[in-house]
Amino acid sequence: MAEQLQLRRGTNAEILAFLGAQGEVVVDTTNNRAVVQDGSTTGGFPAAKLIEVVLNSTATNITAHSGGGQASAVELVATINRITTVAAANDSVKLAPSGPTNVVQIVINDGTNSAQVYGTGSDTINGAAAATGVALAAGKIGIYFSPATGIWRGGTLN
């Protein structure tokens, strides 16, 4: 017979004030992650997201989404991402979902046109509206880091 497992859930603020039993797992609905409790540490220990632990991963030969736009933009999943095809100006890519703990992504535009880089969902880059994104000129390198959920900061090199 199948059994149903039910976990407690709450916002990040609620979990930060919560002291759960040892081994209890709580779902953080703000940051979409599991938080393990030890019975003595208020707030517990958040589980890392893949983007936070896959250090120095590299994706190459990325083709930016033709026609641009955030909704269909190619999601960048590695730490270092090399775009090789930007067929027309403003073809698009989007960063991985932002995180609450210093997520970093590097985007190399080796295409022949400027690419548009977006955040995922409502994530902003340097305060620009989510659906606006930021330009990354051909031949440039963008470095982006997320100091908190919903926020990306970044700039270009060379």
Q: Domain segments of the chain: what residues? A: 8-46, 50-157
The pLDDT score that the predictor gives to residue 71 is 95
The pLDDT score that the predictor gives to residue 35 is 92
Rounded to the nearest integer, the mean pLDDT of the chain is 91
Contact assessment for residue 77 and residue 52, using Cβ atoms and an 8 Å cutoff: no
The pLDDT score that the predictor gives to residue 47 is 86
Counting every residue, how long is the chain?
158
Q: How far is CA 8 from CA 22, 23, 28, 29, 74, in A?
A: 14, 13, 9, 10, 34
Name the residue among 132, 135, 130, 134 with its Cα closest to residue 114. Answer: 135
pLDDT tens digits for 76-105? 989 899 999 999 999 999 999 887 766 889
52 pLDDT above the threshold of 70: no
Rounded Cα gap, residues 112 and 129, in angstroms: 26
Contact assessment for residue 83 and residue 110, using Cβ atoms and an 8 Å cutoff: yes
Rounded Cα gap, residues 52 and 31, in angstroms: 13
The pLDDT score that the predictor gives to residue 53 is 64
The pLDDT score that the predictor gives to residue 141 is 97
In this structure, how many other beta carbons lie within 10 angstroms of the beta carbon of residue 44? 22
Rounded Cα gap, residues 102 and 11, in angstroms: 20
Mean of pLDDT values over 128-145? 95
CATH architecture for the domain at 50-157: Sandwich (2.60)
CATH architecture for the domain at 8-46: Ribbon (2.10)
The pLDDT score that the predictor gives to residue 37 is 92
The pLDDT score that the predictor gives to residue 55 is 61
In sequence order, the β-bridge partners of residue 91 are 115
**Prediction pTM value:** 0.69
The pLDDT score that the predictor gives to residue 101 is 66
The pLDDT score that the predictor gives to residue 151 is 92
